[in-house]
Amino acid sequence: MRKQNTHTFADKVIAFNKQLTLDIPLPEGIRVMNPFSENPGALANSSAFYKKFYDDHRMRHLILGINPGRFGAGVTGIPFTDTKRLKEYCGLQIHGVSTHEPSSVFVYEVIEAYGGVEVFYKDFYINSPSPLGFVKTNEAGKEVNYNYYDSRALQDLLEDFMVESIRAHIAPGIHTDIAFCMGSGKNFSFLNQLNDRYHFFDRIIPLEHPRYVMQYRSKEKQFFVEKYLAALKNLPAKSR
């Protein structure tokens, strides 16, 4: 008799996070941001988050961002979740740290409109093609967020890492008919090209990145919330 796999979706994500590392030479001035090794509370709190919302064997759809930002996943270890949203909506707290990320504000408005965290996280798993973030020191000597596609050299160096990461995101139990991409420009273009070569998903649906909405289209935020909802709720019945 075949032994049933007892590892839950949460167990697999936590195991992936524990071993996350990137040991390759990067372009000058760019460094890796790994919340799980840099921030004491990130692994413990993200693990508690996944055990709370993903400790099952359900199939979900994947939503892919770009890479972690300094004030969201860079601190909490949970994509598009800053410490304020972690406490307010998820009931978890990293003591002594308070961060605010505009992208997290938008994502949690979508989550609330969808039905709340309990409902949303049963249906969707959010991560990024690069689950580790990047920062670059600007002219003022301050570290700022850096996207994997901001440098073609960095993008090329990361391709194998991102391919393996996407495969790892799918492994816990992801439907491969449809995936969603946060970022309808460069991120979608890259993911679509990657998908054409590696056939992760039948189709990738692009959505405007939360940061773009909050920074440039904030007056139309409700329109984009409804656009997200329409896309997320319009899934084939067989994959729900």
Residues 209-221, mean pLDDT to the nearest whole number:
96
pLDDT category of residue 2 using cuts at 50, 70 and 90: very low
Answer yes or no: is 73 within a domain.
Answer: yes
Residues 134-147, mean pLDDT to the nearest whole number:
88
Answer yes or no: is 13 within a domain.
Answer: no
Answer yes or no: is 4 within a domain.
Answer: no
- Show Cβ contacts of residue 159 under 8 Å, excluding neighbours closer than 6 positions: 194
DSSP character string of 95-106: TT-----HHHHH
Find the CATH number of the domain harbouring 183: 3.40.470.10
Answer yes or no: is 6 within a domain.
Answer: no
Q: In what order do the strands lie in the sheet with 61-64?
A: 124-127, 61-64, 178-182, 203-207
Does 48 or 95 have the greater pLDDT score? 48
Tens-digit pLDDT profile for residues 124-133: 999 999 999 9
- Show Cβ contacts of residue 235 under 8 Å, excluding neighbours closer than 6 positions: 61, 178
Token digits of residue 197? 């070569």
Q: Cα dist. 95→42, 139, 216 in Å?
A: 11, 32, 32
Alpha carbons 85 and 177: distance in angstroms, whole number? 30
Answer yes or no: is 97 within a domain.
Answer: yes
Alpha carbons 217 and 221: distance in angstroms, whole number? 6
Answer yes or no: is 5 within a domain.
Answer: no
Residues 79-108, mean pLDDT to the nearest whole number:
94
Tens-digit pLDDT profile for residues 172-212: 999 999 999 999 999 999 999 999 999 999 999 999 999 99
Q: How many domains does the chain have?
A: 1
pLDDT of residue 240: 59
Residue 221 confidence (pLDDT) above 90: yes
pLDDT category of residue 239 using cuts at 50, 70 and 90: low
Answer yes or no: is 12 within a domain.
Answer: no
pLDDT category of residue 140 using cuts at 50, 70 and 90: confident
Can you give the residue range of the structural domain that contains 174? Answer: 18-232
Answer yes or no: is 238 within a domain.
Answer: no
Residue 1 confidence (pLDDT) above 50: no
DSSP state of 150: G
pLDDT of residue 4: 56
Tens-digit pLDDT profile for residues 5-20: 689 999 999 999 999 9
Residues 163-179, mean pLDDT to the nearest whole number:
97
